[in-house]
Amino acid sequence: MAHSVYSADVTQESFETDVLERSRTVPVLVDFWAAWCGPCKMLMPMLAKLAEEYQGRFFLAKVNSDEQQELATRYGIRSLPTIKLFSNGAVVGEFVGVQPERSIRALLDRHIARPSDRLVHEALEAEARGDAAGALDILRRVHSEDAANDRAIVHLGRMLLEQGADTQAEQILARISPAGRADPDLAPLLTRLEFIRMTVAAPPLAELEKRVQAQPGDMQARHWLGARYLLAGHYEAALEQWLTMVRENRQFGNDAGRKALLAAFNFLGGKGELVRKYRNLLSLALN
């Protein structure tokens, strides 16, 4: 393979510098290969082409697994080719075997800084200072100039939701790329939209509280009340409504109470004392 400033053969001795240290500046894609490996020979030209195309926005490190067996053992290489992406000294993504170019690009693009990322950072700083309007203006500009910046889409969608612009937020979040859907900050936003859609036809919170108190078996009112509570930040009250539905009427809405609980767990980040408590209570209710 022709010499390139964007790739290099890496050994046990140079791995610390060429991969771990370098990855603190740019992502490093490590290709564990061997001369006898047919799929390796198919993949390597594709990786080399991408390294040239990206012009230093990532570095390609090639590790001959037969010659560098200590490295192969350290990183648990059992099949070739194995590709591992390093960022800030740690593995942040990997795949085994020959993959389509679009999949490799998606992996890279999740971890490669874009020029517009600087503006996203400025927007978040403005938001932290209490300048929500300024932050929103910056994020709108980023989205206008770089519509493929998924982080800008996530933060713009989040801020629009926080300001009650639900329809705009839904339209913006629908534009996120398939790769961007792996962003852990996206799932709670999409779940919030689900609960917003659930309450479109629902009465106000106070009216629902009176209705459930007067008619405890009204599962529709209880379901709406759970969604209203969640959107108002009354998380335990919301979970309690859906848990009651699971205990008393699982037939309503094709097990709507259980489904709402699972969606709420996702909304709350899937962890924490409250989620653990209600996961256990749900488990008991189902058994």
Catalytic residues: 37, 40
For residue 95, count other CB atoms closer than 10 A to its CB.
15
Nearby residues of 124 by Cβ (< 8 Å), 6 or more positions away: 135, 155
Nearby residues of 149 by Cβ (< 8 Å), 6 or more positions away: 114, 116, 117, 120, 142, 143
Q: Which of 47, 74, 78 is nearest to 62 (CA)?
A: 47
Going by their DSSP bridges, the two strands 28-33 and 7-9 should be labelled as unpaired
> How far apart, in whole angstroms, are the C-alpha atoms of residue 145 and residue 120?
12
> How far apart, in whole angstroms, are the C-alpha atoms of residue 62 and residue 265?
42
